[in-house]
Amino acid sequence: MRILFVGDIFAKVGRDLVKRAVPALVARRGIDVVIANGENAAGGFGITRDIAKELFATGIAVMTSGNHVWDKKELLTFIDEEPRLLRPFNYPAGTPGRGSTIITAPSGERVGVVNLMGRVFMTALDDPFSLGRAEIERLKAHAPTVFVDFHAEATSEKIAMGWHLDGLATAVVGTHTHVQTADAQVLPGGTAYCTDVGMTGPHDGVIGVERGPIIQRFLTGLPTKFDTASGMPRLHGVIVSADGDGRATAIERLSLTPTDIEDLV
């Protein structure tokens, strides 16, 4: 089993990268399942029904999200209609949508996906550690491979989650900070881990937005309008390989420029 996870898709720049890269990676790298975080796909803030459909058409099987999931109000109804679009599992009971799912790969293998959100420097939600572990245990009764997107700010919280789920989840990867970390590894219990997969989008700004206004905000403390950056497009992601028992055997970081993607095509 080979799973491609695409880091936070940011605005049209990120969507265009996905359209070119995902089909090529599936064909050239033997990918069985594609998962992506899509919460920033609509101009950097949220995701719409049309954009979700556009991204699913590229071959993405499941999209995860995080703290920006509700930025577009139409998601309050659409997320109940679209089982492939997840919100963090540890939102309180009664929140629209779902935080986990099981999909079937073309090979017939079943894969569970769990979306969790951290609480350090984030919105205070229910405990992702206990709830996440219980949900993974439930899913593993039906699918040996379970992939976790942990959308969190603090590296310490992400690392703690990796160790907490080592030997239970197939992979625990971090999203949200938009900066790819260099610590991809398979933990001793057989869980692939990376603190942050990074961002698929423009890299000539500050985590996806134009750098000038952000620098001014730091200099003056005054509010500024965030505009999406456009240069230095790059796709960030990981490829996780796993055996039939759902134990990870390898994790590879991806950082692909448009030229790299053209070479794949």
Instruction: Give the pLDDT of residue 226.
Output: 87
Question: 0.75 cut: is pTM over it?
Answer: yes
One-letter amino acid for residue 159 of the chain: I
Q: Which 3 state secondary structure label does DSSP give 195?
A: coil
Instruction: Give the pLDDT of residue 161.
Output: 98
What is the DSSP track for 6-33? E-EE-HHHHHHHHHHHHHHHHHHHT-SE
Q: Which 3 state secondary structure label does DSSP give 166?
A: coil
Range of the domain at 127: 2-264
Residues of the chain under the 70 pLDDT cut: none
Catalytic residues: 68
Which of 240, 264, 246 shows the shortest CA–CA distance to 5?
240
Instruction: Give the pLDDT of residue 25.
Output: 98
Instruction: Give the pLDDT of residue 265.
Output: 77
> What is the 8-class DSSP label of residue 227?
-
Q: Which helix (H) or strand (E) holds 139?
A: helix 128-140
Angle among Cα 49, 53, 55 to the nearest 5 degrees reads 120
Give pLDDT tens digits for 189-221.
999 999 999 999 999 999 999 999 999 999 999
Task: Report the C-alpha gap between 67 and 127 in whole angstroms.
Answer: 15
Give pLDDT tens digits for 120-139.
999 889 999 999 999 999 99
Instruction: Give the pLDDT of residue 162.
Output: 98
Q: List the CATH number of the domain containing 230.
A: 3.60.21.10
Task: Report the C-alpha gap between 123 and 233 in whole angstroms.
Answer: 30
Instruction: Give the pLDDT of residue 105.
Output: 95
With tokens 């939600």, the residue in question is 125
Which of 227, 197, 219, 172 shows the shortest CA–CA distance to 9?
197
* Domain total of the chain: 1
Residues 6 or more apart from 94 whose CB is under 8 A from it?
none
Instruction: Give the pLDDT of residue 225.
Output: 87
